[in-house]
A = this chain, B = another copy of it.
């Protein structure tokens, strides 16, 4: 931690700043510049994290030296982490596609969708049983019945299941059905929920919040990991900006930035990022080119009748085309796909 003092800081203020730091067990080094005096804090920076340094008289700015996350950091684990999903792993050589409908709408539609995406190379089945919807009047999902359907279709197709959990009270229930627990963008800083999924051992797919920085996302992963669950997959799904041409702004650069900052697997959700069927393929190809470990794609037997996200869901032929287009890019990236 480095403290920059205000112009004209008094010796008394400077003394007080040093005492405050030293009271936390760190040492200080004062450096008198031409215009500003700087106080370097030497020792365990974490002890200063809870000290409101900016509220101490005479302090103008505070520069943190260390990242606020640890377990999620590349510093902690130089080797990339791989996380199992059915017969494959996320974070390894293979680019893994997880596909399926936004919502589980029924047994038949899920089964045909699972079969179709399986046939074209998907390695996991996504589908929401509990749905976070902006309006209370929209379809909220089938709930536990949706989970049962997901489990049945897993039996039939062999595809592992990724589904969202929205409520601390449902974590155990959802974990008993799902292979991977999804935390949605709107819950990325629902710290109670993060803590709770950190206490089960199911892998967690953590979607980036719409206004979350890369650091916020890694701190959210740290919540889960600090509770004992190291199996976190990060998902870039677009952020909220002034742009109106797409549903969200796909922050593609977050993919290589995350691959540099963390050892955790990173996947992309081109469906939510673009919000439009026509953008799913270009965004998927780009995500793979930028180093993504996998994709999360919405697929529906008949998008125009979907109860949610129909405008961004691929139908089966479109998914087939996506997977065919993807292959040469996966190979160009020196990776494999199913």
B219–A134 touching, CB < 8 Å: yes
Cα A191 to Cα B331 in complex, Å, equals: 41
A222–B36 touching, CB < 8 Å: no
Q: A211 in the interface, Cβ–Cβ < 8 Å?
A: yes
A167–B166 touching, CB < 8 Å: no
A243–B210 touching, CB < 8 Å: no
Decide yes or no: A223 and B136 within 8 Å by CB, A65-B36, A75-B7, A311-B55 being known contacts.
Answer: yes
Decide yes or no: A255 and B239 within 8 Å by CB, A20-B304, A134-B189 being known contacts.
Answer: no
- Which positions 279-312 of chain A face chain B at CB distance < 8 Å? 279, 282-283, 285-291, 303-304, 306-312
Q: A86 in the interface, Cβ–Cβ < 8 Å?
A: no
Cα A30 to Cα B132 in complex, Å, equals: 35
B169–A169 touching, CB < 8 Å: yes
| B31, B304, B309: the one within 8 Å of A29 (CB) | B31
| B43, B50, B68, B289: the one within 8 Å of A285 (CB) | B289
Cα A53 to Cα B219 in complex, Å, equals: 28
How far apart are A326's CB and chain B's nearest CB, in angstroms?
9
> Which chain B residue shows the least CB distance to A166?
B192
How far apart are A275's CB and chain B's nearest CB, in angstroms?
9
- Which positions 306-332 of chain A face chain B at CB distance < 8 Å? 306-313, 328-329, 331-332
Q: A176 in the interface, Cβ–Cβ < 8 Å?
A: no
- Which positions 18-58 of chain A face chain B at CB distance < 8 Å? 20, 29, 31, 33-36, 38, 40, 42-46, 49-56
B241–A256 touching, CB < 8 Å: no
15 pairs of residues in contact across A and B, judged by CB atoms under 8 Å: A29-B29, A33-B45, A35-B75, A40-B40, A52-B309, A52-B311, A52-B313, A55-B311, A132-B191, A167-B193, A190-B190, A211-B211, A211-B240, A240-B242, A256-B282
